[in-house]
Amino acid sequence: MQKMDFNRGWSVQREGEDVVKTVCLPHDAMIYESRSKDAATAGASGYFREGKYIYRKMLQVPRDWEEKTVLLECEGVYQNAEVQVNGARAAVRPYGYTNFFVDLGSFLTFGAENEITVVADNSKAPNSRWYSGSGMYREAQLYVGPKTCILPEGVKVSVLDQERIRVDVELTGPGAKESDDQLEVEILFEGRKIATAQGNHAEIVIPDVKLWDEEHPDLYQCRVTLKKEGDVADEAAVSFGMRIVTWSGDGFFVNGNPVLLRGACIHHDNGVLGACAFRDAEWRRVKILKEAGFNAIRSAHNPISKAMLDACDALGMYVMDETFDMWIIHKNPYDYGDEAFRQWWKQDVSAMVSKDYNHPSVVMYSIGNEISELGLAEGQEICRQMADFIRDMDKSRAITCGINLMLATMAAKGKGLYGTDKDGKEKQTGSQSMDSVPTSTVFNLMMNKMGGIMDKMASGKAADKVADAVDPFLDIPGYNYATSRYRKELEKHPERTIVGSETLPKSLYRNWQLVKKLPGLVGDFMWTGWDYLGEAGIGTVRYTDRKTKKDTEDGLIVSGGPGVIDICGKMRPEVYWDQIIWGLRKEPAIGVNPYTHARDFQGMSMWRDTDAVESWSWEGCEGEKCDVVVYGAGDHAKLFVNGKCVGKKKIKECKAIFPKVAYEPGSISAAIYDASGWELARTKMRSASGRTQIQLTPEKSVLSANGQDLCFLEIDLTGENGITKSSVDQKLTVAVEGAGVLQAFGSARPHMAEDFVSASHTTYYGKALAVIRAGYEPGNIRVTVSGDGLKTQERILEVVPSETTAI
């Protein structure tokens, strides 16, 4: 089928309002909404408002399409999507994270203009534990082909062993079952044909195989041609990798080689872009995560985008793709749980498996996250059914589930956090009345106060009963915040394989020692690798005035805060600690508590025990004292300010903390030593000097005129020596002219009184990020950045013609 970009020329209107805007998908309507402490989802959504949005697009349909198959694909609509064609309902999809296809044929008027309408109803809230976004936040595609054609996800490549594959082709339309001898299958590597076969179910031997893994992400192409009377009737092409995953009590293996999963839990949003799943944004995230040392991501807690899967395939990143955050017991009054889940889970799971099937990066399917009903008989039966349902479609990947044993044992005792009655007790029916469902904010507050208790409960006898009931249904049980269980579980069941599916970043050292020591513990996924919008402040370090006890930051918190990479893609110093623990880095690193808060009280969260910044540039803070941490693998460390040693500390768990170090402009350096005093390595940071100036660093300068390409423009306030001034923040303004637009502009500041869609924003620790989006016409984009008292800076970006077919 011919695949056409269906992202251009939509209009969107919020229900109840007169304003109609022209937009290009992906489009997140929520990021344009005002923020308020009175928002229905409150901090869970980052205080953004919800709403119901109507998207419309006119489509001129040729008369000859009457003899064709016409399909619309929506890759993601949040939520309660309804697709209409000329006013008639063509499809519905409650779940906001599923890609789905709509057969438009019986609804179209041929030889005329047709109106396509997509309604995204996110008006009933709260319905999410994090920032969901609203509307058509992922791409849309239009597929047109003959009546008998290859379906868009109709080519499935199964790797049988390290040399053989099977290609199964699904056709639709009249004569589909009789088309076996009319199908030609070609396998290509780097554009060169290396093997051929015929038929709907073809087994093929791959010569001189290039196996896919994280270090060698080699991809093949499978091209299928449907012929009719010797002529080409339809074509389809997919990429795949030669990769086999196995697991046992001895570990997790990719192509027979042992792999330890250095995992990052990530949410689906792209920071200042909101929920929009731009291809460039998804690729950028995977690239930065891999540079940070991660080799695996968990798509928490919903199916990952197609664009990110492509990036993981190409760059070499393992994926745990996850289905749901709730099953039959609601976590928020208006979420997908209970009725919608019961009716739709099979369709949504099928969609995820079909989407993932040809992607070698996907090594695990997770069937849920912190499902408290796993402590109940009905939940355990659903677990068995869902796991078996997936195995019927795909036996090549491991099935897991992010189990919170504390929540499950509480549910088993009738004391569940997410209750069905007004007294808070959970029943095995799982059905709930909306006025009795507590919001997930309660859970986050509880976690911050009793996280240690949760870990202890995970190794108790009540937890044993839940694990023994559920784990046999799973290939690799996942445990959330349950480090205390790892050793006990594997001593009791040495044949099992388990994974730390969600853990605290600050606990990585302890967790990773267990990963290395216990063969059946195959990895650790920290919460989180990348920071995200919503769950406002669960990991944010709070600063309050020591006298007034009031927050020293203005504005509602917009982000979660636990990520070791911030929402703009900047690695925090904790990343270097992670790399040292994983054995990926020998050079030490320095993290500096912000001197701008030297006199404030610093309140930590369960998820983060530091707010360190990678900077020794704190203009105006001379003489102030703050803690400095040195990350390194050695016996002890020394810290030097302007060449003078200011302390020597023992290294414990790959870090040494130097309290109350006075700030002096110049330089700070750290050296690590072995027990004999031999210096192993050192590092150094310098201060900014000279007048403040704006520095622009575009991540690319040539974009394609496809309406989708992005340029991420890093903006720094630096000294004349090019070093960022971390204590100098001010409002900057971005102007974009020519063949593109300003898609987003913001910073990683957690307390935000501004937004991400205006042309002006205040820097955070001297940094901001602007995102420039190409249009559909080639030309130049002129970007200027200005600020009071600063010299305006300019960059020119080139937009070149695109080969993408957009209608």
- DSSP string of 157-197? EEE-SSSEEEEEEEEESTTGGG-GGGEEEEEEETTEEEEEE
Q: Tell me which H or E stretch contains 382.
A: helix 377-393
- The Cα–Cα gap between 30 and 37 comes to 15
Q: How confident is the model at residue 200 (pLDDT cuts 50, 70, 90)?
A: very high
803 falls in which pLDDT band (50, 70, 90)?
confident
User: What local confidence, expressed as pLDDT, does residue 807 receive?
Assistant: 85
* Strand duo 398-403 + 2-5: pairing: unpaired
How far CA 614 is from CA of 22, 186, 639, 684, in Å, comes to: 41, 51, 15, 11
Question: CA 446, 450, 456, 462 torsion: positive or negative?
Answer: negative
Lookup: tokens for 593: 């508590």
Token representation of residue 450: 């009793």
pLDDT above 50 for 433? no
pLDDT tens string 18-43: 999 999 999 999 999 999 999 999 99
CA separation for the pair 26, 20 (Å, rounded): 17
| Architecture, CATH, for domain 693-800 | Sandwich (2.60)
Phi, psi of 763 (to 5 degrees): -70, 165
Percent of the chain whose predicted confidence (pLDDT) is above 90: 91
| Same topology between domain 162-240 and domain 693-800 | yes
474-483, pLDDT tens digit by residue? 999 999 999 9
Query: Domain 585-614+620-686 adopts which CATH fold?
Result: Immunoglobulin-like (2.60.40)
Alpha-carbon distance of 3 to 475, in angstroms, equals: 37
* CA dist., res. 216 & res. 244, Å (int): 14
User: pLDDT at residue 434 above 80?
Assistant: no
**Identity of residue 478:** G
Q: Does the pLDDT value for residue 451 go beyond 90?
A: no
Question: What confidence score (pLDDT) does residue 423 get?
Answer: 33
What's the chain's average pLDDT? 95
pLDDT of residue 449: 62
Q: Residue range 308-329: average pLDDT?
A: 99
Report how far residue 323's alpha carbon sits from residue 511's, in angstroms, rounded to the nearest whole number: 25
List all residues 6 or more positions away from 38 whose beta carbon is below 8 Å from its beta carbon.
Answer: none
Tell me what the mean pLDDT of segment 549-572 comes to. 95
- Is 739 within 8 Å of 779 (Cβ atoms)? yes
Res 83 pLDDT > 50:
yes
State the DSSP string of 203-255: EEEPSS--B--SS----EEEEEEEEETTEEEEEEEEEE-B--EEEETTEEEET
Identify the H or E element spanning 330: none
- Which residues fall within 8 angstroms of residue 381, CB to CB, at 6 or more apart? none
What is the SS3 assignment for 405? Answer: helix
Q: With a cut of 80, say whether residue 774 has pLDDT above it.
A: yes
**With 60 as the cut, is the pLDDT of residue 431 above it?**
no
pLDDT at 445 over 90: no
Does the pLDDT of residue 390 top 60, yes or no?
yes
**Listed range (221-225, 281-285, 326-330, 440-444) with the worst mean pLDDT:** 440-444
CATH architecture classification, 2-146 = Sandwich (2.60)
- Tell me the pLDDT band of 454, cut-offs 50, 70 and 90: confident
Peptide bond between residue 301 and the one before it cis (omega within 30 degrees of 0)? yes
* pLDDT of 426 over the 50 cut: no
| Domain spanning 245-544, CATH architecture | Alpha-Beta Barrel (3.20)
Q: How many residues does the chain have?
A: 807
pLDDT score recorded for residue 446: 60
Q: What digits encode the pLDDT tens for the residues 561-572? A: 999 999 999 999
Query: Which secondary-structure segment (H or E) carries 280?
Result: helix 279-291
3-state secondary structure of 107: helix
- Strand-by-strand arrangement of the 51-61 sheet: 20-23, 10-14, 51-61, 112-122, 81-85, 88-93
Query: How far, in Å, CA of 712 to CA of 732, rounded?
Result: 16
The answer on pLDDT for 275 being more than 60 is: yes
Confidence band for 148, pLDDT divided at 50, 70 and 90: very high
Domain-wise residue ranges, the chain: 2-146, 162-240, 245-544, 585-614+620-686, 693-800
Q: Which CATH class is domain 162-240?
A: mainly beta
Start-end of H helices in 749-788: none
Answer with the residue of higher pLDDT: 437 or 63. Answer: 63
Is residue 415 very low, low, confident or very high in pLDDT (cuts 50, 70, 90)? Answer: confident
Please give the distance of CA 657 from its chain centroid, rounded to a whole number.
32
Q: What is the DSSP letter of 311?
A: H
Query: What does the block give as tokens for 406?
Result: 């504390």
Closest CA to 345 of 381, 308, 294, 295: 381
User: How far is residue 401's CA from residue 52's CA, in Å, rounded to a whole number?
Assistant: 32
So what's the pLDDT on residue 443? Answer: 56
- Span 283-311, mean pLDDT? 99
| Mean pLDDT lowest among 118-122, 370-374, 547-551, 684-688 | 547-551
Structure tokens at 667: 């330089």
pLDDT digits (tens, 9 = 90+) for 168-180: 999 998 877 776 6
pLDDT of residue 731: 99
The confidence score (pLDDT) of residue 421 equals 36
pLDDT tens string 641-663: 999 999 999 999 999 999 999 99
Q: What percent of the chain has pLDDT over 70?
A: 95
What's the whole-number mean pLDDT along residues 459-464?
Answer: 93
Q: Is residue 695 pLDDT above 90, yes or no?
A: yes
Q: Assess whether pLDDT exceeds 60 at residue 581.
A: yes
Q: Looking at residue 450, what is its pLDDT?
A: 62
pLDDT in tens, 705-763: 999 999 999 999 999 999 999 999 999 999 999 999 999 999 999 999 999 999 999 99
Q: Would you say residue 424 has pLDDT above 90?
A: no
